[in-house]
Structure 1
Amino acid sequence: MKNTRLCPKCGSKDLLLVPGKAGAYGSGNNIMIGHSIFSAVLVNRYVCCTCGFTEEWVDLEDIPKLKEKYDQ
């Protein structure tokens, strides 16, 4: 959805981007990698307005932070 601008389930072009957000106590759509919201990696959601399918994406520049924290 992010790259093709098409829903992979129904083929619709009617998509929404819901930006990732980090709020108090880890709320929002994010992955915490530290103890404060400033260390959160945001997860963006793409939503198909036709069938309701969703995808979640992390920005490529945040992948090294995730690998450092979770790649064991």
Structure 2
Amino acid sequence: MKNRKICPKCNSTDIIKVPGKAGAYGVGNNIQTGWSNFSAVLVHRYVCCACGYSEEWIDKEDIPRLKEKYENA
């Protein structure tokens, strides 16, 4: 859905991206990798406006930080 901009459930092309964010006290769509909001990895949502299906994606450049924090957890 992220790359092709087509819903895998209903084949609609009416897709929106809801950007991840990190707010006060960890509020938002993110994964904390440290103690501050600056360490948060943002999780972006892609939503089909036709059927409501959604997917969550993390930017590739943020994956090494997640692996460092959670790979052996």
TM-score range, shorter chain: over 0.9
Number of the residue aligned with 1:63: 63
Alpha-carbon separation, structure 2, partners of 1:38 and 1:63: 15
Letter in 2 for 1:37: N
Number of the residue aligned with 2:31: 31
Following TM superposition, the consecutive aligned residue runs of length 4 or more in structure 1 with deviations greater than 4 angstroms are none
Letter in 2 for 1:54: S
Alpha-carbon separation, structure 2, partners of 1:25 and 1:4: 34
SS of residue matched to 2:3: coil
- State the identity %: 69
Number of the residue aligned with 1:18: 18
Alignment coverage as a number of residue pairs: 72
**Cα RMSD (Å) of the superposition?**
0.3
TM-score normalised by L of structure 1: 0.99
Alpha-carbon separation, structure 1, partners of 2:11 and 2:35: 40
Q: Which runs of 5+ in 2 are unaligned?
A: none
